[in-house]
Amino acid sequence: MDKPLTATLNIEQPLDLDQYRNKGGYQGFARALDLTPEEVQQQVKEANLRGRGGAGFPTGMKWGFVPMGEDSPGRKYLVCNADEMEPGTFKDRWLMEGAPHLLVEGMMIAAYAISASVAYLFLRGEYRLCATRLEKAIREAEQAGLLGENIQGSGYSLNLHLHTSAGRYICGEETALLNALEGKRAHPRAKPPFPQVVGLFGQPTVVNNAETLCNIPGILRQGPAWYQDLGRGEDAGTKIYGISGRVKNPGLWELPMGAPAKEIFDLAGGMQHGLKLRGWLPGGASTDFLLPEHLDTPMEYDAIAEAGSRLGTGGIIALDDKHCPVGMVLNLIRFFAQESCGWCTPCRDGLPWASEILNRIESGRGSQEDLDELQRLCDFMWMGKTFCALAPGAVEPMSSAMKYFADDFQQHIDKGCCPYRH
């Protein structure tokens, strides 16, 4: 299988500019410069690339919302969202540490496709090794004339800047990220207007996830048909899938879109000795639980949705039969409560209240009324009732755990303790 994301990846010592070029690097960007920006957009649309940040929105369509032509605003921005803070997700870090030039090239092509003259790489502040390697790749590209003014005599100019985040989960929400880049508090913005029309500093802006952008060079170099053929089902290309939890070999693998979840568990060696799989989150901490009977489900957007969850980031978190699901959900809710920006009432007040109730249940002090209250909170914080998707995402593992592991919640109340500790 062709592996467009990991063919040039080397964690120990990433390829320098010359080595990357020897493996076909920057050929995609050269191909893009031979096309018009609109033609580059069309290539990505035909490839059917969907965003790898969690939502799965078609990338070429997203670019298509940016005003183009002579009457469009003179300043446009491309922003790479590399503020990877979703628990259970570490795919972007792997790519940036091991293939920094791949991301730089992807950003260059995407910026050209929307006629952006400035690009920002918004990086999670804790990713220090990523920052060092990305800075080196950017500097090498500048010295080679691949960034800056009048690139390769094409008339196109692009300046690319690395910006390290101060560190908040909410910065993964694209409009909160833009506020942070402008030096403001990282609060989400009302939409519409959408960033593609009114974004960074009030100008048209596209925000794409790091893995999404790493797919772009291969599409331009090999063509949309090649990329389409990489997938096994409805979705095109490959995906970095990960798994954590008490499996034998937690890790990351590049697989065709549509690979079944069972294949990822098999690559991880299955559960550790003496443990059985009880449930799994398919796409990081803010997705609904699925069960062992769902392991044959293809890991693609629509199939996982039909099973009752979301593909999200493709980072599986495994729950074993010796680990308390109530305790696991409490740990996640505590994280989301801490990371709420406080901009809207359901998230600001609802998540700490849910955390307190779960803590009461887990410590054996819960009541039947607490279970009813948690159900009400699931509705109180759902889609359309909050300013962004942070609280609805936090609700997903909690509501699905109450559905699939209802007996565990009830035992905590009936026994007055956590049954996994006694």
Predicted confidence (pLDDT) per residue in 10-32, tens digit = 999 999 999 999 999 999 999 99
- Going by C-beta distance under 8 Å and a sequence separation of 6 or more, which residues neighbour residue 259? 232, 239, 241, 298, 299
The pLDDT score that the predictor gives to residue 55 is: 83
Cβ neighbours around 287 below 10 Å, total: 27
Q: What is the mean pLDDT of the chain?
A: 95
Place of tokens 């095109």: 236
Residue 69 has pLDDT above 90, yes or no: no
Instruction: Report pLDDT digits (tens) over 341-361.
Output: 999 999 999 999 999 999 999
Nearest to 11 by CA among 91, 83, 95, 85: 95
The pLDDT score that the predictor gives to residue 401 is: 97
All structural domains of the chain: 17-230 (3.40.50.11540), 238-320 (3.10.20.600), 325-421 (1.20.1440.230)
User: Distances in Å between the alpha carbon of 102 and those of 4, 21, 211, 263?
Assistant: 10, 10, 10, 26
Instruction: Report pLDDT digits (tens) over 371-411.
Output: 999 999 999 999 989 999 999 999 999 999 999 999 999 99
119 — phi, psi (to 5°)? -130, 140
DSSP tag of 170: G
Instruction: Report pLDDT digits (tens) over 141-186.
Output: 999 999 999 999 999 999 999 999 988 899 999 999 999 999 999 9
C-beta of residue 106 within 8 angstroms of C-beta of residue 217: yes
Place of tokens 């449930």: 279
Residue 213 has pLDDT above 80, yes or no: yes
Q: How far is it, in rounded angstroms, from Cα 151 to Cα 149?
A: 6
Q: How far is it, in rounded angstroms, from Cα 19 to Cα 142?
A: 16
Residue 54 has pLDDT above 90, yes or no: no
Residue 1 has pLDDT above 70, yes or no: no
